[in-house]
């Protein structure tokens, strides 16, 4: 098995040649879905293209794919709608599991964490060979879109914290909103990415996904994400720091979804209703970023929006029914909806809101059909 070690640098460096340029018919143009956000200078464009090629690359076992975890062989395998870097359909959901004692609690992780591999490679033993009775709660997770997330990576922590209302006392409206507080390398940080805001930075998500989705090891940057070593025959780390930086650079510079620009009065009416019935209390129409307002329709805060009896994964600082408000930009291209895909269309997504979001949902359901249609038309314009 040793020779694999020498295949890795060769195979991955050849990716550098597997490129085009934005707008050439293979790679989306500047500002388009899946294209770069701006016209990057040549050296940066080359880095973006190398990052994209790695994101798009089908890894092989000779490159370290698949020990201990394996859900797919490329990032693009799941993040592909409407372009490389986008969202994924229901069939690409990943699964998490744990034990909550038949709903009575307390919840605990099984050894090795919550990730339940879809395609566990046959040469890995131990990871999921528990007594099946030990795991009694499962949760599906949908593949979210990465387009535009560089803008959310750059939102100052103070801007996120400014919208918190942990006890519903600042504005008593039934809506709380708390930031996900994490400790990274002994320091407090705010989580932003993932359905429970469990990851602070996009660069951390490269390590996290390389490990959890592809089973690829990454070098230690002291921030505790990803996997340092695994049990296959390929030398660790299987990806270099430079390659991680390239994938992160690709994601950080993906263009944000653009509104359709429709002047249809129905869309304008829907936008007003979105604010009036309280959707905008969580799906904030703008957050202040370092280079201006970001219209992602999220507050990046956690809310309890599941029914009271909901059973799912728990993490410190994010109980079972608690999820981060997802951005709504580009929502017309990322069906189905909600963390597990239970919303098969936009109306289904609204119906699946409970608890803190119950009054907004009830208000939507009380609207006249023509007004409901207007609100949906607005969502389809984002
Ligand atoms: C098997 C499908 C699958 C593959 C392969 C995959 N992802 Fe994901 N990705 C997901 C799912 C599901 C989530 C949501 C995870 C969660 O929060 O539980 C996600 C979340 C993300 C997020 C956070 C998005 C957000 O809105 O917060 C980023 C960034 C990301 N993935 C990057 C990557 C990278 C980089 C790769 C390749 C190394 C990759 N993903 C491979 C399914 C996948
Ligand atoms: C209390 C905060 C809150 C309010 C109010 C709220 N939402 Fe949400 N919304 C969320 C959270 C949290 C999720 C993610 C839940 C999950 O993943 O299961 C979500 C998910 C969604 C999704 C699916 C997004 C995706 O990518 O899957 C849509 C669409 C949506 N909301 C629209 C609305 C509309 C329209 C309203 C008003 C009727 C509304 N929301 C009110 C917090 C809120």
Digit-by-digit pLDDT tens for the chain (382 residues) are 333 444 444 445 444 445 788 988 889 999 999 999 999 999 999 999 999 999 999 999 999 998 777 899 999 999 999 999 999 988 888 989 899 998 999 999 987 788 887 776 555 555 555 555 678 899 999 999 999 999 999 999 999 999 999 999 998 899 999 999 999 999 999 999 999 999 999 999 999 999 999 999 999 999 989 999 998 889 999 999 999 999 999 999 999 999 998 999 999 999 999 999 999 999 999 999 999 999 999 999 999 999 999 999 999 999 999 999 999 999 999 999 999 999 999 999 999 999 999 999 999 999 999 999 999 999 999 9
- Residue 8 is predicted with a pLDDT of 46
- Residue 2 is predicted with a pLDDT of 39
- Residue 10 is predicted with a pLDDT of 45
163, 326, 344, best to mutate for ligand 2 pocket (most atoms within 8 Å of CB): 326
Q: Could you say which ligand is closest to the alpha carbon of residue 244?
A: 1
- Residue 232 is predicted with a pLDDT of 87
Q: Is residue 77 within 6 Å of ligand 1 at its C-beta?
A: yes
User: What is d(CA 210, CA 193) in angstroms, rounded to the nearest whole number?
Assistant: 15
User: What is d(CA 62, CA 76) in angstroms, rounded to the nearest whole number?
Assistant: 19
Q: Is residue 78 within 6 Å of ligand 1 at its C-beta?
A: yes
Q: Is residue 193 within 6 Å of ligand 1 at its C-beta?
A: yes
Closest ligand 2 atom, residue 279 Cα: 37
Closest C-alpha among 159, 241, 158, 170 to residue 206: 241
Q: Is residue 182 within 6 Å of ligand 1 at its C-beta?
A: no
User: What is d(CA 144, CA 32) in angstroms, rounded to the nearest whole number?
Assistant: 18
Quick one: CA torsion of 7, 128, 99, 323, rounded to 10 degrees? 30
- Residue 134 is predicted with a pLDDT of 79
Contact 319, 366 (CB under 8 A): no
Hey, how many other C-beta atoms are within 10 angstroms of the C-beta on 67?
24
Closest C-alpha among 257, 208, 194, 216 to residue 57: 216
> Can you read off the two tokens belonging to residue 337?
């909806």
Contact 232, 123 (CB under 8 A): yes
Closest ligand 2 atom, residue 346 Cα: 29
Report the nearest-CA residue for atom 2 of ligand 1. 78
User: What is d(CA 252, CA 288) in angstroms, rounded to the nearest whole number?
Assistant: 17
Closest ligand 2 atom, residue 339 Cα: 17
């Amino acid at each position: 098995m040793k020779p694999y070690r020498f295949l890795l640098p060769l195979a991955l460096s050849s990716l550098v040649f597997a490129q085009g340029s934005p707008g050439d018919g293979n790679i989306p143009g500047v500002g388009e879905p899946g294209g770069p956000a701006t016209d990057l200078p040549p050296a940066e464009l080359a880095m973006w293209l190398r990052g994209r090629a790695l994101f798009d690359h089908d890894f092989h076992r000779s490159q370290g794919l698949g020990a201990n975890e394996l859900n797919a062989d490329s990032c693009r395998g799941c993040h592909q709608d409407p372009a490389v870097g986008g969202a994924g359909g229901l069939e690409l959901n990943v699964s998490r599991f744990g034990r909550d004692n038949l709903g009575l609690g307390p919840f605990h992780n099984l050894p090795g964490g919550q990730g339940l591999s879809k395609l566990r490679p046959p040469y890995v033993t131990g990871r999921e060979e528990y007594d099946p009775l030990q795991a009694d709660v499962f949760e599906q997770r949908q593949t979210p879109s990465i387009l535009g997330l560089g803008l959310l990576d750059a939102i100052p922590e103070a801007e996120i914290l400014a919208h918190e209302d942990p006890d519903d006392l600042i504005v008593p409206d039934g809506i709380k909103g708390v930031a996900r507080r994490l400790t990274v390398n002994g320091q407090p940080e705010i989580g932003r990415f993932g359905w429970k805001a469990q990851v602070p930075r996009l660069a951390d998500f490269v390590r996290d996904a390389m490990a959890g989705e592809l089973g690829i090891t990454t070098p230690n940057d002291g921030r505790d994400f990803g996997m340092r070593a695994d049990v296959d025959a390929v030398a660790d780390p299987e990806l270099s720091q430079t390659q991680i930086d390239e994938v992160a650079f690709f994601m950080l510079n993906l263009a944000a979804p653009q509104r359709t620009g429709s002047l249809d009065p129905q869309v304008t009416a829907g936008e007003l209703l979105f604010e009036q019935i309280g959707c905008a209390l969580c799906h904030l129409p703008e957050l202040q970023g370092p280079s201006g307002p970001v219209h992602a329709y999220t507050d990046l805060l956690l809310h309890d929006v599941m029914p009271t009896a909901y059973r799912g994964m728990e993490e410190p600082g994010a109980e079972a029914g608690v999820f981060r408000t997802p951005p709504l930009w580009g929502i017309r291209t990322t069906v189905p909806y909600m963390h597990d895909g239970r919303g098969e269309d936009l109306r289904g997504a609204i119906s699946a809101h409970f608890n803190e979001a119950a009054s907004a949902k009830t208000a939507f359901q009380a609207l006249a059909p023509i007004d409901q249609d207007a609100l949906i038309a607005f969502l389809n314009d984002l």
